[in-house]
Amino acid sequence: GENVEQHPSTLSVQEGDSAVIKCTYSDSASNYFPWYKQELGKRPQLIIDIRSNVGEKKDQRIAVTLNKTAKHFSLHITETQPEDSAVYFCAAKRAQNTGFQKLVFGTGTRLLVSP
Amino acid sequence: GAVVSQHPSRVICKSGTSVKIECRSLDFQATTMFWYRQFPKQSLMLMATSNEGSKATYEQGVEKDKFLINHASLTLSTLTVTSAHPEDSSFYICSARYGASNNEQFFGPGTRLTVL
């Protein structure tokens, strides 16, 4: 089955700096890669996603890049702000024959943005 | 749009009792619902996937007789933790998706279960 690894586990940056979180996946058939932000005790919130037919996607300060050959994808946050502090999860999804498409999550990155 | 609710948000129960958690899609019909468990400072682990009107598909290592899932309608799925024990204490989160071809899942706010 799919295995998703995520690095780093913790990341501390100063306000205004950029933050990069990287994930690798094992299943070459995975075709959908979302990123979630989760604040303590809250639900995961989708912040950006990318499909396997696209190499890069950007939404204001957030961007995601995908390298299908190397099977890795990254989240880039520019001009970080204290409110970006949270745990970020990457995930990968493969379309299965049964139609039960399930997300496999990475281990999470705790981002701390200091003022 | 695409709002998913969960009830209760927190529950404390005694060891040996059963607890039912509800997951509702408020403004869309959820053809598929997922149940996750998240231990402190850990990732979300998928427990089971259910399609409306079908039996749930459980992930390896998840006891189907202990975690009963019912997806009786397109807007409601329930997870019942039977004979709960302290090691079942966790954050349980559901998510829902509409349509087999849609990628995005919408997550509920989670239920914090504490078993004494």
| Total Cβ atoms within 10 A of residue A15 | 13
Is pLDDT of B12 > 80?
yes
CB contact under 8 A, B43 and A108: yes
Cβ contacts of B51 on chain A, cutoff 8 Å: 99-100
CB contact under 8 A, B44 and A106: no
- Cβ–Cβ contact A40 with B under 8 A: no
Q: How far apart are CA B29 and CA A40, in angstroms?
A: 28
Residue B101: its pLDDT value, please?
Answer: 63
Residue B31: its pLDDT value, please?
Answer: 85
Length of chain A: 115
Average pLDDT of chain B to the nearest whole number: 92
CB contact under 8 A, B46 and A104: yes
Which of left, alpha, beta for B112 (phi over 0: left; psi -120 to 50: alpha)?
beta
Strands B19-25 and B4-7: antiparallel
CB contact under 8 A, A105 and B49: no
